Structure 1
Amino acid sequence: MSIKTFELASTSAEGVELLSYVALPEGASAENPAPGILVAPEWWGVVDYPRSVCEKLAKAGFAAVVIDVFGEGKLTSDAAQANEWMEQMLADQDMLMGRCQLVLNDFSDQMAVDSKRLGVIGYCFGGKIALDMAREGMPVKAVATFHGNPTPKQPAEKGKFNAEVLVAHGAEDSMVPMAGIEALKKELDNAGVSYHVDVYDNAKHGFTNPDADKRAAENGVDLGYNEAAATQSWDKMINFMTTCLK
């Protein structure tokens, strides 16, 4: 299946150019727009892995975009640098959400994207971003997180958080403890949000990313790839998005 990929440039309110990566499925057009999925990447930025996620989504029939939250296409394989950039974003979460809203707008303005059928998936730091986009009341119908940080910018509110949620979490995740997932469940219950949580055995933080073992070795951080959990959680996410965005 042939897909179309291109860079989507958006200029943030602070004058920073966001260089997001778009993949469109074959046959998507103004007459036949595809449901759209925004991808909030791990703290490494718009590296090869989220780009490959975008392309896989396009092959599955979705229009997809990786959000360049850091701006200027910044990416790294160094955990200390990634953490510094993430902390800068977390220090001004209104700015961060403004950037996500901007990319959502620019992406959904594409003729081949159905702006009425939008979802968002997030990985690690991006899991927080994905959930926060729904917490902010952005027009997304579905949120899926993989080994995501569930800590809210502000808690979900009934009537404002209008997405269904799928959470894929690793049982051996030392960076996001189960207590964080339990707190998320309580938060979503209080807001009347429909959600499903899958906990994968023998899966560490970063379990979907084939580069996780390499990044762990390079940076001395507790990450690990688990092919079985990665495959199962991907298939569940595709089914979830297909159902929510039909």
Structure 2
Amino acid sequence: MRTETVTYEADGLHFKSELFVEAGTEPKPGVLVFPEAFGLGDHARHRAEGLAKLGYAALACDIHGNGRLVQDLGEALGLLKPLYADTRRMRARGLAALKLLKGREEVAKERTASIGFCFGGTMSLELARSGADLMAVVGFHSGLSTTAPKSDAKAYRGRVLVCIGADDPFIKPEERNAFEDEMRNAGVDWQMHLYGGVVHSFTNVEADKRNNPAMRYSEAADKASWASMQELFTATLIA
């Protein structure tokens, strides 16, 4: 396994992300991995490493600039508030990461995807709404709302999978319903997987340490959603 810190500029900030790739001569499908709201930490790195072991070149992405990682949820949400208010800034950060990934010699630039967790899933969806050249997008316990669903959804170019805890208090049924309408009205090839009895951050084994009942790890939902992602990638990036 080879890892490399890579840097790029976007939205007036300097970003430090980490590329994970196994040795080999053939260009590999590339996958962006956007972390939860707190920033690039071990959770996203572990997922990127797992993707590399499956044969992908995976970029674990910095979202706050300068590799910033915060521990307090309130602080993290404060950093993200301007991006929710102006999704062009959110998209700019994601597009810069995608440009870097596609420019790497290890990556088959015509076969790329994006995944994300929590806010990272929102970033992946906003990338797709920008018309980015992605064959697949996956959001794990990700926010689903957007500022211009009727117009932006028409820009989707690949398949979409979102994996959501059915009891996630941060993603209300109304938000899920609005996302369904967005996908359906735009004719997107999409799936939504719901996991009963599951709340937010269900893929993160460290979630329980936050002592927040809205954020809990679920081994069953974690494994099921990861398997669904692999199935989608096999159909889009490999087939």
Q: TM-score, normalised by structure 1?
A: 0.92
Q: Report the Cα distance in structure 2 between the residues aligned to 1:20 and 1:153, rounded to whole angstroms.
A: 27
Distance in 2, matches of 1:135 and 1:149, equals 14
Task: Give the letter for the 2:6 counterpart.
Answer: L
Deviation at 1:188, TM superposition (A): 0.5
2:219 aligned with 1:227, yes or no? yes
- Which residue number corresponds to residue 47 of structure 1? 41
Deviation at 1:64, TM superposition (A): 0.7
Give the 3-state SS of the residue equivalent to 1:245 in structure 2. helix
Q: In the TM superposition, what whole-angstrom CA distance separates every residue of 1:101-122 from its partner, at most 9, and x where no partner exists?
A: 1111011100001110011111
- Structure 1, residues 110-167: CA drift from partner, whole Å, max 9, x if none? 0001110011111111111111100100000101111110011432546521111111
* SS state at 1:69 partner: coil
Please say which of residues 80-89 and 225-234 is displaced more in the overlay: 80-89
Partner of 1:24: 21
8 Å Cα contact 2:17-2:59 kept in structure 1: yes
CA contact (8 A) 1:132 1:153 kept: no
RMSD: 1.4
User: Which residue of the other structure, out of 119, 141, 144, is the alignment partner of 1:147?
Assistant: 141
Point out where structure 2 has 5 or more consecutive residues left out of the alignment.
none
Please list, as runs of the form range in 1=range in 2, the aligned pairs for 1:21-170 lying within 5 A after superposition. Answer: 21-27=18-24, 29=25, 32-155=26-149, 157=152, 160-170=155-165
Structure 1's unaligned 5+ residue stretches are: none
User: Structure 2 residue aligned with 1:239, among 228, 231, 236?
Assistant: 231
Overall identity of the aligned pairs, in %: 32
Whole-Å separation in 2 of the counterparts to 1:167 and 1:91: 22
Please say if residues 70 and 89 of structure 1, whose CA atoms lie closer than 8 Å, have aligned partners that are also in contact. Answer: no
Asked if 1 retains the 8 angstrom alpha-carbon contact of 2:94 and 2:124, the reply is no
- Corresponding residue number in structure 2 for 1:4: 2
Residue aligned with 1:18, SS: strand
Cα 1:153–1:245, aligned 2, differ >3 Å: closer, same or farther?
A: farther
Contact 1:36–1:113 (8 Å) recurs in 2: yes
More helix by share: 2
Query: 2: CA distance between counterparts of 1:13 and 1:236?
Result: 33
Q: CA deviation at 1:170?
A: 0.5
Distance in 1 (CA, whole Å) between partners of 2:184 and 2:146 is: 14
1:13–1:201 Cα change, 3 Å: closer
Matched letter for residue 8 of structure 1: V
Q: How many residues align?
A: 237
**Per-residue deviation, 1:178:** 2.0
Cα distance in 2 for residues equivalent to 1:92 and 1:36: 27
Partners of 2:83 and 2:195 in 1: how far apart?
29
Cα distance in 2 for residues equivalent to 1:49 and 1:83: 18
Determine helix, strand or coil for the equivalent of 1:74.
coil
Moved over 4 A (4+): 156-159
**Contact 1:25 1:34 (8 Å CA) reproduced:** no
Q: Is the 1:135–1:154 Cα contact (8 Å) retained in structure 2?
A: no
- Give runs of aligned pairs for residues 200-211 of structure 1, distance below 5 A: 200-211=195-206
**What CA distance in whole angstroms lies between the structure 1 residues aligned with 2:14 and 2:179?**
33
Contact 2:38 2:76 in 1 (8 A): yes
Deviation at 1:243, TM superposition (A): 1.1
Q: Is contact 1:120-1:144 (8 Å) kept?
A: yes
In structure 1, C-alpha distance between the alignment counterparts of 2:154 and 2:202, rounded to whole Å: 33
Change (3 A) 1:8 1:154: farther
